[in-house]
Structure 1
């Protein structure tokens, strides 16, 4: 039995809740996963999982073994990292998950420089606007927007992304330009965004001085999409008025296909973080990737300096 591989398989099953999911995230056959767990249970003379047709539950003995297993694997990763750091040559695989617009317009265009600097790091980049299960999906780190609530994870601040309110030039030529946020529901179509996870429509926020207006576009006339790049396309195509990140809008503003409206009304910057599990903290390859991502996002940070905080 390859006990180290068996440990990694055991931890992945315990965290993901299933043999098949563990096999997929580790890229090993389902039969191999089952065989390794059987051999490990025989070696330990304890039952690590209670299995049924619907779910896999870690036993009491399995929970105790899990705590020791993750510590051992973290220590091994740290040991590898020490030697990698001494050679300045971290290696291994990193799986990162990032939203569509951030991947296409920020991360991927800069990635050749990272690959040149760290050629022995293999990156698997998952691109979607859905919220992934950082542990269960076997993802090393995610780039997430919004306020963070899970205190068990480590988060490094990337930027506060600037918003703008926009509409296609073709739409404005036909429907006119709104002069106040209240015009949007009364007289205009909304090109909106909704969560693929919850189905919740994103509200439109406007601030001018001390005045703040929140508009819930649910039920308004218009088109709503659940992917950020498609949302930008809906604005450019003239489907309505909506809010998106300023960096995404820039090329279309220059071409004249997109126009900023209500520029005196601002939406607060959107906080972005790169997030990873505490158990990954000592990974040399993840450290260099996180530091690199922070540098890449710096030019996109619109948060006033006194309000910037490191997490």
Structure 2
């Protein structure tokens, strides 16, 4: 029995409350995970987990062993990462979640550079804008827009920001006219975006003379995908308001036109979030540094006049 590997498997099973999810996150089979736990329990002479078909929980002995495992594994990672050769050469599986639009427009075009810099990292990139439980889902870090909630369990590292841009297609403007003031929006309609986090469409947020103003637009069409949202705007199905990096290709092609450019809103931060541990994984740190660099290089091009 490889005791260190068994400890890693045991900790992952506990973190994810599932043998199957632990196996998936470790890119191994459930049978190997099950055998590792059984061998560990036999070696220690105690039962670590109480498991039924629907529930998985730690025994008192398992709780003590889990706490020690987490500390030992963190210490080992910290010692290994302190050596220059290891610190400069991140390795292993890295699972990252981010929004589809950010991945498609900003991150994926730069991924060859990441692979060239870190050839020993196997990246699993998933795309969503929902709230992710990093521990239970085996996600190492997420990239999110907006001001992160202060959960106390996650570290949020700001890597950039983008502006909101209000747009309409030339065909929409030809049919409905161009709004010049916020009061004009009462005569217009927008495409609605149904956020997976709030389960309701967004109000449009502007800042006028230092004060917040929120406007609920009339919506004849609501979608739950941000790329579809911008595409609907380009088809003239309603006005849209989205991040500068999302609409920039449409503005450059002329399929969308910026309107209400005199009315702004606070910039929207982009952050990398990861679990709050004593020691940050060198692989997570490498990705966070790299994606921050990619966003910094892209930010200058996001400025829409």
Residue in structure 1 matched with residue 171 of structure 2 by the alignment: 170
Residue in structure 2 matched with residue 305 of structure 1 by the alignment: none
Kindly indicate whether the alpha-carbon contact (under 8 Å) linking 1:281 and 1:287 is maintained by their aligned counterparts in 2: no
Residue in structure 1 matched with residue 9 of structure 2 by the alignment: 9
Residue in structure 2 matched with residue 142 of structure 1 by the alignment: 142
Residue in structure 2 matched with residue 34 of structure 1 by the alignment: 34
SS at match of 2:97: strand
Question: Is structure 2 residue 259 aligned with structure 1 residue 258?
Answer: no
In 2: Cα distance, 1:59 partner to 1:183 partner: 64
SS at match of 1:122: strand
Kindly indicate whether the alpha-carbon contact (under 8 Å) linking 1:103 and 1:127 is maintained by their aligned counterparts in 2: yes
- 5+ residue gaps, structure 2: 301-305
Kindly indicate whether the alpha-carbon contact (under 8 Å) linking 2:191 and 2:232 is maintained by their aligned counterparts in 1: yes
Please say which of residues 80-89 and 111-120 is displaced more in the overlay.
80-89
Kindly indicate whether the alpha-carbon contact (under 8 Å) linking 1:16 and 1:135 is maintained by their aligned counterparts in 2: yes
In 1: Cα distance, 2:278 partner to 2:162 partner: 26
Q: Deviations over 1:287-308 (max 9, x none)?
A: 2221111111124558xxxxxx
Residue in structure 1 matched with residue 235 of structure 2 by the alignment: 237
Residue in structure 2 matched with residue 109 of structure 1 by the alignment: 109
Residue in structure 2 matched with residue 248 of structure 1 by the alignment: 246
Kindly indicate whether the alpha-carbon contact (under 8 Å) linking 2:164 and 2:242 is maintained by their aligned counterparts in 1: yes
Kindly indicate whether the alpha-carbon contact (under 8 Å) linking 2:81 and 2:87 is maintained by their aligned counterparts in 1: no
Deviation at 1:102?
Answer: 0.8
SS at match of 2:123: strand
Deviation at 1:143?
Answer: 0.5
Kindly indicate whether the alpha-carbon contact (under 8 Å) linking 1:129 and 1:226 is maintained by their aligned counterparts in 2: no
In 1: Cα distance, 2:175 partner to 2:279 partner: 54
Residue in structure 2 matched with residue 160 of structure 1 by the alignment: 161
Residue in structure 2 matched with residue 307 of structure 1 by the alignment: none
Deviation at 1:244?
Answer: 0.4
Q: Deviations over 1:121-144 (max 9, x none)?
A: 221111222222111111111111
Q: Deviations over 1:68-109 (max 9, x none)?
A: 111111222223323454683332221111111111111111
Q: Deviations over 1:167-204 (max 9, x none)?
A: 122211112222333433x3222212222244122221
Residue in structure 2 matched with residue 282 of structure 1 by the alignment: 280
In 2: Cα distance, 1:22 partner to 1:118 partner: 25
RMSD: 2.1
Residue in structure 1 matched with residue 213 of structure 2 by the alignment: 213
Kindly indicate whether the alpha-carbon contact (under 8 Å) linking 2:195 and 2:202 is maintained by their aligned counterparts in 1: yes
Q: TM-score, normalised by structure 1?
A: 0.88
In 1: Cα distance, 2:279 partner to 2:172 partner: 49
SS at match of 2:23: helix
Inter-CA distance 250–197: structure 2 relative to 1 (3 Å threshold)? closer
Residue in structure 2 matched with residue 226 of structure 1 by the alignment: 224
Equivalences for 1:52-71 in 2 at 5 Å?
52-71=52-71
Residue in structure 1 matched with residue 125 of structure 2 by the alignment: 125
Inter-CA distance 183–49: structure 2 relative to 1 (3 Å threshold)? farther
Residue in structure 1 matched with residue 303 of structure 2 by the alignment: none
Q: TM-score, normalised by structure 2?
A: 0.90
In 2: Cα distance, 1:263 partner to 1:174 partner: 20
